[in-house]
Amino acid sequence: MAKSKNLIIGLIILGILLASMVTYRVDFNEMAIVTTFGKAETDSVMNADGKGAGLHFRWPWPIQEVARVYDRRVQILEDELEEQQTLDKQDIIIGTYIVWRIREPLHFYRTLNTVEQAQRQLRDRLRNARSEIGQYTFSELTNLDPEQLKLAEAETTMRDRMQEELNTQGFGIEIQAVGVKRIILAEAVSQKVFERMRSTRQRLAQRARSEGDAAASDIRAKAASAEERILAFADQRAQAIRAEGDAAAAQYYKVFKDNEEFAIFLRKLEEYEKILKNNTTFILDAQEGPFDLFAPAAKAVDASAGSGPDAEIPDETNDLPAGVTE
């Protein structure tokens, strides 16, 4: 019983070993190079277009073997920071990267064989292509104005140059993009740039202050001129009003001088208006001004009867008929 059990286990292990010798698996994001007697042909590439993923059969070694498995996806390679000089002689430190993929796996296998070797080739050619940065000024690489910025143009130029060199070598690599991830000014250059920027800002600030002072002076001058015109007009108008008032007053004075009683009458009416407007009750002598206007009869009696304690009182008996005594 034990022997049969061990036999079954041995057969299972043998089956697994045989299966591993005649099958292989390729993931969707992978492509495999299967060689026959050590040679890779056109039909040696599996899943280059993404349609051959899954389990495949092969002849056991040494007839066939899976020589290489490559990544079908886009890969990014970042290079180290290096110093570069721009067209206007500015020393900068630049960092670049490459976006690439294996386009022709058979050529890639025959020429480079490994991804590590491909990365070395890409770095060498990137350093050569980076000399294109020297065809642009620092301002064209870092300008905030999109119309003056030419960084994208420089990146495209580097990509095209690298792709042409790789095609000439037949590496089977496609460069999708070459980008500049960082531009740093060297320390000495940075200090000069900061000083130049500070000087430019100070000059712009001084210009703004000068323009502001000029505008303020112009506004003050216009305000002073307007003030003088307004004051002159106001003074002229005041003089005209005073002249009109003086003329009217002179006319009234002349009228009052010609008719003094009328002037006194008007003055009394003004007093009445001041006294009576508050509905206040006063007990005053009717013979005193200005209330004498209400007692013309009393005034007439005073004028005809005379004044003083010695005034003669008329004898009313003289008016009696003859023969009648009081």
Distance CA 73, CA 158 (A): 22
pLDDT band at 225 (very low <50, low <70, confident <90, very high): confident
DSSP assignment letter at 59? P
| Residue 77 pLDDT | 94
Give the end of a domain, one of 142, 157, 185: 185
Q: For 22-26, 88-92, 262-266, which range has the lowest pLDDT when averaged over its residues?
A: 262-266
Which of 12-16, 110-114, 238-242 bottoms out in mean pLDDT, i.e. has the lowest?
12-16
Quote the CA–CA distance of 24 and 32 in Å, as a whole number: 10
Which of the residue ranges 33-42, 243-252, 306-315 would you say has the lowest mean pLDDT?
306-315
Check whether residue 42 and residue 97 sit in a common domain.
no
Calpha distance 156→135 (Å, rounded): 13
pLDDT score of 171 more than 90 = yes
Using pLDDT thresholds of 50, 70 and 90, give the confidence band for residue 153.
very high
Same domain (yes/no): 66, 141: no
- The band of 288, judged by pLDDT with boundaries at 50, 70 and 90, is low
Q: How many domains, the chain?
A: 3
**205 falls within a domain:** no
Q: State the Cα–Cα distance between residues 318 and 144, nearest whole angstrom.
A: 131
Q: Which class for 300: exposed (0-12), middle (13-18), buried (19 or more C-beta within 10 A)?
A: exposed
Q: 219 lies in a domain?
A: no
At 298, which amino acid appears?
A
Residue 294 lies in a domain: yes
User: In this structure, are 66 and 81 located in the same domain?
Assistant: no
Q: Give dist(CA 120, CA 214) in Å, integer.
A: 64
Beta carbons of 109 and 68 less than 8 angstroms apart: yes
Q: Are residues 50 and 105 in the same domain?
A: no
Last residue of a domain, one of 150, 185, 220: 185
Domain assignment present for residue 56? The answer is yes
211 assigned to some structural domain: no
Domain assignment present for 12: yes
| Between residues 295 and 93, the one the model is more confident about | 93
For the segment 114-130, what is each residue's pLDDT rounded down to a tens digit? 999 999 999 999 988 99
pTM: 0.53
Quick one: angle between helices 115-129 and 151-169, nearest 10? Answer: 130
Q: 66: which strand partners?
A: 34
Locate all alpha helices (DSSP H) within the chain, ordered by sequence.
Answer: 2-22, 105-111, 115-129, 138-142, 151-169, 187-258, 260-276, 296-305
d(CA 89, CA 20): 62
Q: How far is it, in rounded angstroms, from Cα 151 to Cα 117? A: 29
Determine phi and psi for 56, rounding to 5 degrees: -130, 155
In a domain, 230, yes or no: no
Residue 133 has pLDDT above 60, yes or no: yes
162 and 103, same domain (yes or no):
yes
Average pLDDT over residues 147-175: 93
Give the residue-averaged pLDDT of 70-75: 91
Q: Using CA atoms, how far apart are residues 105 and 269, in angstroms rounded to an integer?
A: 125
Say whether both 35 and 118 belong to one domain: no
Read off the pLDDT of residues 28-58 as tens digits, 9 standing for 90 and up.
Answer: 888 888 888 878 887 778 877 878 777 777 7
User: Quick one: pLDDT at residue 308?
Assistant: 45
Cβ(102)–Cβ(108) under 8 Å? Answer: yes
Question: Burial, 110: exposed, middle or buried (Cβ in 10 Å; 0-12, 13-18, 19+)?
Answer: middle
Residue 323 located in a structural domain: no
Instruction: Examine the domain organization and report whether 58 and 79 are in the same domain.
Output: no
Tell me which of 185, 218, 240 is where a domain ends.
185
Q: Are residues 88 and 176 in the same domain?
A: yes
Domain of residue 284, residue span = 265-302
Q: Are residues 126 and 51 in the same domain?
A: no
Whether the pLDDT of residue 307 is over 50: the answer is no
* Helix (H) or strand (E) run with residue 173 in it: strand 173-185
- Residue 147 and residue 122 share a domain: yes
